[in-house]
């Protein structure tokens, strides 16, 4: 069994929520294409929904991501087919660096959900009726604190069960056991990696 750094294990995500209504919100909206040219992800947190949040002069427009009532929200509530469109990994990078640590929705584009998993961001699904209730709760009181519990597969609010959610078991296991972070797994098993590399004939004596 490979070693795993305990810091990569994700079992619970807690925080306030941001209710982003609308079906088929694609990655082109989440992160405008012109920001894909940046060679690092360092500033991606500045860009989610940029063209909807700011006008041509850079002045803020009314948008949930600009609303101070939702500042610091860790859980994003969405509707159907969130993250559709192009497969750019910049979309989940932008949301993560903005502060989003988990996404609860009706459904997700498969590639987007996979890219979120590689960043340690759970994407879990609930029925449309339940997501609407959750959104209404947050719209009524933006300071409600939620706890997404991957072990229990429940989203708690104020100590009470708000809703049960679905999540692919492979993704749930990867998050809870820490295997979602492939780089961290390799670093935690560096001696084994070096040993295997040394045994490979095409690596022996290789000089860059």
Q: Mean of the pLDDT values across residues 148-159?
A: 91
Residue 90 has pLDDT above 70, yes or no: yes
Point out the least confidently predicted range of 90-94, 149-153, 158-162.
158-162
Task: Examine residue 108 and state whether it is found in any structural domain, yes or no.
Answer: yes
Domain extent for 155:
7-199
User: Which range has the worst mean pLDDT, 11-25, 111-125, 176-190?
Assistant: 176-190
Is the residue at 204 inside a domain? no
Strand-pair partners of 163: 155
Task: Examine residue 206 and state whether it is found in any structural domain, yes or no.
Answer: no
Assigned domain for 207 exists: no
Structural domains counted in the chain:
1
- Answer whether 177's CB lies under 8 Å from 4's CB: yes
User: Could you report the per-residue pLDDT of 96-152, keeping only the tens digit for each?
Assistant: 999 999 999 999 999 999 999 999 999 999 999 999 999 999 999 999 999 999 999
Percent of the chain with pLDDT over 90: 75
| Whether pLDDT at 189 is above 90 | no
What is the CATH number for 100? 3.20.19.10
The upper half-sphere exposure of residue 66, i.e. CA atoms within 13 Å in the direction of its Cβ, equals 14
1: in domain: no
Question: Would you say residue 70 lies in a domain?
Answer: yes
2 within a domain of the structure (yes/no):
no
- Whether residue 6 has pLDDT greater than 70: no
Question: Nearest to residue 16, comparing CAs of 162, 144, 148, 157?
Answer: 144
> Per-residue pLDDT tens for 42-52?
999 999 999 99
| DSSP character string of 32-84 | -GGGGG-SSSTTGGG-TTHHHHB-TTS-B-S-GGG-GGGTT--EEE--TTBTB
Question: In the prediction, which pLDDT does 180 show?
Answer: 85
Average pLDDT over residues 160-164: 82
| CA-based torsion, 50, 126, 96, 193: positive or negative | negative
- Residue 98: inside a domain: yes
Contact between 164 and 171 under an 8 Å Cβ cutoff? The reply is no
């Amino acid at each position: 069994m490979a070693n795993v750094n305990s810091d990569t294990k994700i079992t619970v995500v807690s925080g306030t929520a941001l209710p982003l209504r609308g079906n088929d919100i694609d990655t082109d909206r989440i992160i405008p294409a012109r920001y894909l040219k940046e060679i690092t992800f360092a500033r991606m947190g500045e860009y989610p929904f940029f063209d909807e949040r700011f006008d041509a002069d850079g002045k803020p427009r009314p948008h949930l991501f600009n609303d101070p009532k939702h500042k610091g929200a860790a859980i994003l509530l969405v509707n159907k087919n969130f993250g559709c469109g192009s497969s750019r990994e910049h979309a989940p990078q932008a949301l993560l660096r903005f502060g989003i640590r988990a996404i609860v929705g009706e459904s997700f584009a498969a590639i987007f959900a996979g890219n979120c998993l590689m960043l340690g961001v759970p994407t879990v699904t609930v029925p449309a009726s339940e997501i609407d209730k959750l959104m209404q709760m947050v719209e009524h009181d933006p300071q409600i604190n939620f706890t997404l519990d991957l072990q229990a597969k429940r989203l708690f609010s104020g100590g009470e069960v708000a809703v049960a959610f679905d999540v692919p078991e492979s993704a749930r296991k990867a998050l809870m056991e820490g295997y979602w972070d492939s780089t961290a797994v390799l670093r935690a098993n560096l001696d084994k990696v070096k040993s295997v590399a040394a045994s490979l004939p095409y690596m022996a004596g290789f000089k860059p």
